[in-house]
């Protein structure tokens, strides 16, 4: 009888120990699972934060690139006028052109804008490297020139460029260029004297 009772007691103790061990393992498993979930959540949060940072950086880079492109467009905008000696056909075609005479017997030069330009001025400058902000001696001015109504002026071109044309384009850019004559073939050329965005 005692042996039987001892056997039951030992069996009960073993079952109890096994149950405690299972509970401990279960608790440890829950703790480990919880820690693993938290680690995964933190990793996901960091990944999302990095993705957001990269997106913001790319957006900033694109904004900077657009700004640079816009600035470069303002600087590199082509000169909006052409200047050449006018022939008989052009004199007839542009019979409603603005007329300005510096030298009465001088050849006729045609200043033909590629688009409507405003605040047009012809000035005398000492040399082509003069600062665009220097006004120089004003020779002629008009509120606007258009491709249909250009400017024809009579003038003997000097050996060195000394006439400057300045104006505003349709996009609000101020342009300034010196007008010169080639000593090689007598053709007219323009020297860019600078551009700046109209403020």
Read off the pTM: 0.58
**Averaging pLDDT over each range in 31-45, 48-62, 89-103, which range is the top one?**
89-103
Q: Do 66 and 86 lie in a common domain?
A: no
Q: Do 94 and 171 lie in a common domain?
A: yes
What is the phi-psi region of residue 156: left when phi exceeds 0, alpha when psi lies from -120 to 50, beta otherwise? beta
- Comparing 16 with 81, the larger pLDDT belongs to 81
Judged against a pLDDT cut of 80, whether residue 147 lies above it is answered with: yes
Instruction: Quote the number of domains for the chain.
Output: 2
Contact 193, 79 (CB under 8 A): no
Which of 76, 108, 123 finishes a domain? 76
pLDDT (0 to 100) of residue 37: 63
Question: Residue 24: which domain range?
Answer: 1-76
Of 56, 69, 112, 119, residue with least CA distance to 87: 112
Judged against a pLDDT cut of 70, whether residue 152 lies above it is answered with: yes
> What does the pLDDT look like over 7-28, one tens digit per residue?
556 665 665 655 555 555 555 5
Q: Do 28 and 92 lie in a common domain?
A: no
Name the pLDDT band for 64 (thresholds 50, 70, 90). Answer: low
**Which range (31-40, 59-68, 105-114) has the least confidence?**
59-68
Contact 105, 135 (CB under 8 A): no
Q: Do 63 and 108 lie in a common domain?
A: no
Q: Do 69 and 108 lie in a common domain?
A: no
* Cα–Cα dist 127/42, whole Å: 70
Which of 34, 60, 76 finishes a domain? 76
* DSSP E strands, the chain: 81-85, 98-101, 108-113, 117-124, 137-145, 151-154, 163-168, 173-181, 188-197
Beta-sheet pairing, 188-197 with 173-181 = antiparallel
Q: Do 7 and 26 lie in a common domain?
A: yes
Q: Do 107 and 48 lie in a common domain?
A: no
Which of 31, 60, 76 finishes a domain? 76
Q: Do 26 and 85 lie in a common domain?
A: no
Task: Tell me what the mean pLDDT of segment 41-60 comes to.
Answer: 66
* Cα–Cα dist 104/59, whole Å: 61
């Amino acid at each position: 009888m005692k042996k039987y009772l001892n056997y039951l007691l030992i069996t009960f103790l073993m079952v109890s120990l096994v149950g405690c061990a299972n509970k401990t393992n279960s608790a440890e498993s829950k703790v480990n699972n919880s820690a693993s979930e938290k680690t995964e959540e933190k990793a996901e949060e960091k990944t999302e934060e990095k993705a957001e940072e990269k997106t913001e950086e790319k957006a900033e880079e694109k904004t900077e690139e657009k700004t640079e492109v816009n600035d470069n467009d303002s600087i590199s905008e082509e000169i909006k006028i052409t200047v050449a000696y006018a022939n008989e056909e052009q004199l007839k075609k542009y019979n409603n052109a603005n007329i300005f005479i510096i030298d009465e017997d001088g050849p006729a030069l045609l200043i033909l804008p590629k688009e409507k330009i405003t605040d047009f001025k012809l000035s005398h400058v000492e040399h082509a490297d003069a600062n665009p902000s220097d006004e120089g001696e004003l020779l002629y001015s008009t509120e606007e020139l258009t491709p249909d109504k250009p400017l024809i002026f009579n003038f003997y071109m000097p050996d060195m460029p000394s006439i400057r044309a300045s104006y505003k384009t349709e996009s609000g850019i101020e342009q300034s260029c010196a007008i010169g004559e080639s000593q090689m073939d007598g053709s007219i050329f323009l020297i860019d004297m600078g551009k700046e965005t109209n403020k």
